[in-house]
Amino acid sequence: MNIDQREMRQVAEAAAPRIDMYAGIHKALRALMADSLLALGRMDVDDALELAQVTQRVLELLDFCRSHLQHENEFVHTAMEARAPGASGQIAHEHAEHTEAITVLANQTTALLQCDAEARAAGALALYRALSLFIAHNFEHMHVEETAHNAVLWARYTDAELIEIHNALVASIPPHEMMFIVRWMVPFMNPAERTAMLGDMQAHAPAPALAAALDVVRPHLSEREWAKLSASLHLPAATGLVQG
């Protein structure tokens, strides 16, 4: 991976914050991964409904991880390679490994759902351990992207160019997947990040799209968090929200 350490230092010393395409989506991924792992660890394997629900959540996580890899490969890595050939090589290799691991985990999850009752406890423990290792590696992987990859991008692209790349990536995401992202991203952002994301949607997306996003987000925010968000977006009191 061709990462210039001088660029890394320059990024760390930069006075003004730069456009970070990784920050929000990685908060969503960390939250979803942690939530899925905790659900799997506490699952009652003798409860058929709970078993079905939790394994479905794990499969949804894996599907989302697979889609995320594709988005990064197509948009972020393409941008990096255009101006810094070889810079995405190591992480691209890890993406290939992650894709293989996702297939193995998905098969293991399906097998757990279908196995005999006496084998479920052992199968659930094995899946829990395998998923925890996958998540641990992903946490390290995301740190490299947020530091080394951002150093490459920030040294070679203006913020305006990075916004164009990000907008193209977002435009490629189907509506149902975007709502899934919103559900896991916005609640785990800080207030300023929530306002920035939903404020941009408020300014550029159709009103029904913003309303749908707020409906998805609201159950996962505390009353105080919701009040801050409502005020920052100047949402009308007539909807039961705080007047700005």
CA atoms within 13 A on the CB side of 150: 20
User: What angle separates helix 120-144 from helix 48-71, to the nearest 10 degrees?
Assistant: 20
DSSP string across 43-74: --TT-HHHHHHHHHHHHHHHHHHHHHHHHIII
> Would you state the structure tokens that stand for residue 22, as one six-digit string?
């990784």
Res 12: pLDDT: 54
Q: What are 77-135's pLDDT values in tens digits? A: 999 999 999 999 999 999 999 999 999 999 999 999 999 999 999 999 999 999 999 99
Instruction: Please report which residue ranges of the chain form alpha helices under DSSP H.
Output: 5-13, 23-42, 48-71, 78-83, 89-114, 120-144, 150-156, 159-171, 175-185, 191-204, 207-217, 223-233
Amino acid type, 167:
N
11 pLDDT more than 90:
no
> Would you state the structure tokens that stand for residue 83, as one six-digit string?
């101006």
If we measure between CA atoms, which residue out of 230, 217, 65 comes closest to residue 73? 65
Q: What are 164-196's pLDDT values in tens digits? A: 999 999 999 999 999 999 999 999 999 999 999
Q: How far apart are CA 43 and CA 62, in angstroms?
A: 18
Longest dimension (CA), the chain: 59
User: In angstroms, what CA-CA distances link 67 with 25, 70, 229, 243?
Assistant: 12, 5, 29, 38
> Would you state the structure tokens that stand for residue 119, as one six-digit string?
């084998």
> Would you state the structure tokens that stand for residue 13, as one six-digit string?
């010393």
Between 6 and 174, the more confident residue is 174
Res 4: pLDDT: 61
Res 14: pLDDT: 55
